[in-house]
Amino acid sequence: MSVLALTATACGSGDTGEEKSVRERVQVSGAFGEAPQIKIDAPLELTESSSWIEEEGDGDAVGEDATAILELSLANGRTGKAAISTIDQGQPLEVKLGDGVFPSLNTALVGKPADSRIVVASVADDAYGDSGSPQSGIKGGDPVVMVADILSTDPTSALDGPTGATLAAPAKAPRVKETDGMPVRLAFAKARKPKKLIVIPLRKGTGPAIESPDRISADYLGQVWGAKKPFGSTFSEQPAEFSIGLGGVVPAWDKALDGQKEGARVMIISPPDLGYGSSAQPNIPANSTLVFVVDVLGVG
């Protein structure tokens, strides 16, 4: 169950005159991205929520309506006991800022750079409220301390296209057909369909590499092997934003894009088991081999 399954009814987050004493009573240690040690001089009595940067990163800033990838750990401010952590659950949390996020956490995240550790001391009304979270040992009305490590967020800017040198594709790979330099379809006349995942660099990237889990901005074209036209493309639209490494895209993308650099263009040939498998999709028959051309335009 998500630690953010409940929303609160009010928001009092922000810097207050109470912050110094709260910071003295909430001590957080441990390395970024790993399980924090949270020591609370309990019971923690708060009149309103506050937050601070425990460790400041230098990544892209979290926007007001951005998606962020977090390692999030919660402790009960009344008892001082650990409650729940994404690190224990084995996968970071992807959150879209807005009504689905605790108000105190939402306010604390906005404007903070990725690779930062944020600490939130939240009144109950800005967290689980009167309902509490019994499965986490948090009663209704309990204050909550949150430690959020911002692993990634939406890139704040995107390239117009690939930046590096052009690379030759193998002779038996599908051909990329372009109009005015923009990929519009794939041709398969001389191509040989592989049975495993194939990743073909078409342009070198010159920016930071994708390190899963990461938010990226990308243009892509997707086509079923042997089809005459794509089933989807963003090249004539705004770039799309995705999380890589969290299972939110087809498995071939998670595998192929990890390590690719900003500014790269890559062809991904996905066997059915790393695409949609036996589940048919609009314009994609079941058990299809899929071919993608992806431009990595931003890494959050």
The reply to whether 143 and 227 lie within a common domain is no
Quick count: other Cβ atoms within 10 Å of Cβ 58? 8
The reply to whether 148 and 192 lie within a common domain is no
Domain assignment present for residue 40? The answer is: yes
**Average pLDDT over every residue of 9-29:** 66
pLDDT digits (tens, 9 = 90+) for 229-255: 999 999 999 999 999 999 999 999 999
**Average pLDDT over every residue of 160-169:** 94
The reply to whether 183 and 133 lie within a common domain is no
Please count the helices (runs of H) and the strands (runs of E) in the chain.
4, 16
Domain assignment present for residue 170? The answer is: no
Q: What is the CATH number of the domain that holds 183?
A: 3.10.50.40
Domain hosting 203: range is 175-299
In this structure, are residues 176 and 266 in contact, taking their beta carbons and an 8 Å threshold?
no
In this structure, are residues 39 and 103 in contact, taking their beta carbons and an 8 Å threshold?
no
Q: Final residue of a domain: which of 85, 118, 153?
A: 153
Residue of 86 and 99 predicted with greater confidence? 86
For residue 199, the one-letter residue type is V
Please state, in angstroms and rounded to a whole number, the distance separating the CA atoms of residues 56 and 78: 27
The reply to whether 179 and 295 lie within a common domain is yes
Entry pTM: 0.90
The reply to whether 79 and 196 lie within a common domain is no
What pLDDT, on a 0 to 100 scale, did the predictor assign at position 2?
Answer: 47
Q: Where are the beta strands (DSSP E) in the chain?
A: 26-29, 37-40, 50-55, 67-76, 82-85, 93-96, 117-122, 144-153, 175-179, 182-187, 198-203, 214-224, 232-233, 240-244, 265-270, 290-299
Domain assignment present for residue 205? The answer is: yes
What pLDDT, on a 0 to 100 scale, did the predictor assign at position 17?
Answer: 43
Query: 3-state DSSP call for residue 293?
Result: strand
Task: Name the residue among 275, 252, 261 with its Cα closest to residue 214.
Answer: 261
The reply to whether 119 and 212 lie within a common domain is no
Model confidence at 287: pLDDT above 60: yes
Q: Phi and psi (nearest 5°) for 107?
A: -65, -40
Domain assignment present for residue 36? The answer is: yes
What pLDDT, on a 0 to 100 scale, did the predictor assign at position 20?
Answer: 53
For residue 251, the one-letter residue type is P
The reply to whether 59 and 145 lie within a common domain is yes
Q: Final residue of a domain: which of 119, 153, 187?
A: 153
Domain assignment present for residue 158? The answer is: no
The reply to whether 114 and 179 lie within a common domain is no
Domain assignment present for residue 6? The answer is: no
Task: Name the residue among 14, 254, 5 with its Cα closest to residue 110.
Answer: 14
The reply to whether 25 and 149 lie within a common domain is yes
Does an H or E element contain 106, and which? helix 103-109
Residue of 173 and 18 predicted with greater confidence? 173
The reply to whether 244 and 181 lie within a common domain is yes
The reply to whether 149 and 190 lie within a common domain is no
The reply to whether 48 and 139 lie within a common domain is yes
**Average pLDDT over every residue of 73-101:** 95
**Average pLDDT over every residue of 86-96:** 95
For 258, the token pair is 């990890």
Domain assignment present for residue 167? The answer is: no
Domain assignment present for residue 161? The answer is: no
Model confidence at 33: pLDDT above 70: yes
What pLDDT, on a 0 to 100 scale, did the predictor assign at position 255?
Answer: 98
How many domains is the chain built from? 2
Q: Final residue of a domain: which of 123, 153, 183?
A: 153
Secondary structure letter of residue 61 according to DSSP: B
